[in-house]
Amino acid sequence: MQLRSSGPLLALAAALALLAACHEGPTTAQCFEPNATPYNFDYNLDTNIVFHWPPSYMPLRVYAESVGETPANTRKGMDLWVGAFRCHELSYTMVSDSTRADIIVRNPASLPTAPPAHMVQMHADSDSVGACEGVTQFDTANGALVGPMRSYVATFPTTDSAAAAACYHFTTAHELGHALGLLSESPDPNDLMNAVPWRLVLTEDDRFTIQLLYHTRSTLGPPPRR
């Protein structure tokens, strides 16, 4: 499913975020990127579906499948998003046991098929310069996640190794943005969270949007931790 952006809903979400921030302390404004424009972070134009990992889950436990550069790309991507925050809202640790992870990153031969009919799935796609594609999936029940965020990055069959390596680099970071709660795509082609990411750089708008998200009330609860 392709995720889209909406100006009116974005304005509402941003206003709610700033309102909430006003009650968190006099220095909260220091946590936000100046002179930036946010994009939507709710799911598929639905302001009732907003998610970010709570402070009690920090550091997030991240598992990267030991295939090729997947672990290195995952660390680089997570470091990029951690660096977006001015007030230390996000931290992570890599774990070797996927059953104890909050976020799982895999590099399959192809993207996974749809889950069983009884499960609710939401996903966000990316297609980076025709070399690879990614998807992030999560399942919900009773207003909360029931398992980890799962991100997958796979090449197209005709992709050469050099193009695949470059694509994996920034597509992994893009999918991690979704796994952290950015459930919409940016309309700006320069943003990492655009539907077709092409470089491993966060713009001011990428940083501002995830900063706002982590100062907005989440409508979905996190999954139980093991």
DSSP state of 43: B
The one-letter amino acid at 45: L
70-123 pLDDT, tens digit per residue, is 999 999 999 999 999 999 999 999 999 999 999 999 999 998 877 666 555 667
Q: Report the pLDDT value the prediction gives residue 121, as an integer from 0 to 100.
A: 64
Distance CA 104, CA 114 (A): 17
What pLDDT, on a 0 to 100 scale, did the predictor assign at position 4? 32
Query: Can you point out the beta strands (E) in the chain?
Result: 60-64, 92-94, 103-106, 121-128, 132-141, 144-145, 149-155
Query: Which own/partner pairs from 137-143 qualify as long-range (CB within 8 Å, at least 24 positions apart)?
Result: 137/112, 139/115, 140/220, 143/219, 143/220, 143/221
The domains found in the chain, sorted by start residue, are 7-213 (3.40.390.10)
Q: What is the reported pLDDT for 87? A: 96
Check residue 117 and give its pLDDT. Answer: 60
Please give the Cα distance from 75 to 142 (Å, whole number). 32
Q: What is the pLDDT of residue 190?
A: 96
Report the predicted TM-score, pTM, of the whole model to 2 decimal places.
0.87
pLDDT of residue 92: 98
Instruction: Write down the H helix ranges in the chain.
Output: 7-22, 70-82, 161-179, 204-213
Give me the residues of the chain with pLDDT under 50, please: 1-26
